[in-house]
Chains A and B, each alone.
Chain A
Amino acid sequence: GQQLNQSPQSMFIQEGEDVSMNCTSSSIFNTWLWYKQDPGEGPVLLIALYKAGELTSNGRLTAQFGITRKDSFLNISASIPSDVGIYFCAGPNAGGTSYGKLTFGQGTILTVHP
């Protein structure tokens, strides 16, 4: 089935540092979604990307839809302790339907040291 590969699997950084993570797929995606999961909570949508090459920002977060449509990047600038959590990329299931399940990457676990 369709798979999304995220890297790195985990990151340990100092407060104030910038963070970069990415997500790749062997198949083309028409939409990329980035979610964050705080400890003990469900994932929350951060950014949605709909067009190849698109660059979208949400505060200190910036995400890009890769030009090949097979990858996406998420950057966090000037990290703070509340950025701790698991970050997931996600995309629609391939197969011609616009409805139904999303496929999620394995997640990147971010730890921020004060």
Chain B
Amino acid sequence: GAGVSQSPSNKVTEKGKDVELRCDPISGHTALYWYRQSLGQGLEFLIYFQGNSAPDKSGLPSDRFSAERTGGSVSTLTIQRTQQEDSAVYLCASSLVGLQTNGYTFGSGTRLTVV
């Protein structure tokens, strides 16, 4: 696609429920990243994919968080047993080959609210 697409754009869920957030990267981009942005905070790295593999998942905050990528394209971030502190904007980004010096292209994010 023309840009990085994320869905849903907004999600309200009850505490304890599982949620899935989806990211469609730019076509042909092999690298994909998930970041989290809490209110008034900077961007917190969660996980990095190169193709379908995740060489760096050091930012996942707990074992309730997981992510996968299939076909070198779409990625899904899953949060199990959501907690109120999971409320944040979840941003996905992609880049052509993952070279840090080129920066990334971000999607508009999914705003998750846990009530």
Contact = CB atoms under 8 A, between A and B. Distances in A.
- Binding between chains A and B: yes
Nearest to B104: A102
A101 B41 CA distance: 18
A42 B106 contact: yes
Contacts of A45: 103-105
Interface string B98-113: 1111111111110000
Contact of B45 (A48, A91, A101): A101
A66 interface: no
B45 to A, nearest CB: 5
B91 interface: yes
A43 B104 CA distance: 9
Interface in B47-96: 48, 50, 55-56, 59, 91, 93
Contact of A88 (B42, B45, B101, B102): B42
Q: How large is the interface on B (under 10, 10 to 19, 20 to 34, 35 or more residues)?
A: 20 to 34
Given A88-B43, A104-B42, A106-B42, A33 B103 contact: yes
A35 to B, nearest CB: 8
Residue among B31, B45, B100 having the largest count of chain A Cβ atoms under 10 Å:
B100
Interface of B: 4, 31, 33, 35, 41-43, 45, 48, 50, 55-56, 59, 91, 93, 97-109
Given A40-B108, A41-B108, A106-B41, A100 B103 contact: no
Contacts of B91: 42-43
A45 B56 CA distance: 23
B101 A105 contact: no
Contact of A48 (B42, B98, B101, B107): B101
A43 B108 CA distance: 8
By Cβ-Cβ distance, the 5 closest A-B pairs, closest first, are A42-B106, A92-B100, A106-B42, A104-B43, A99-B98
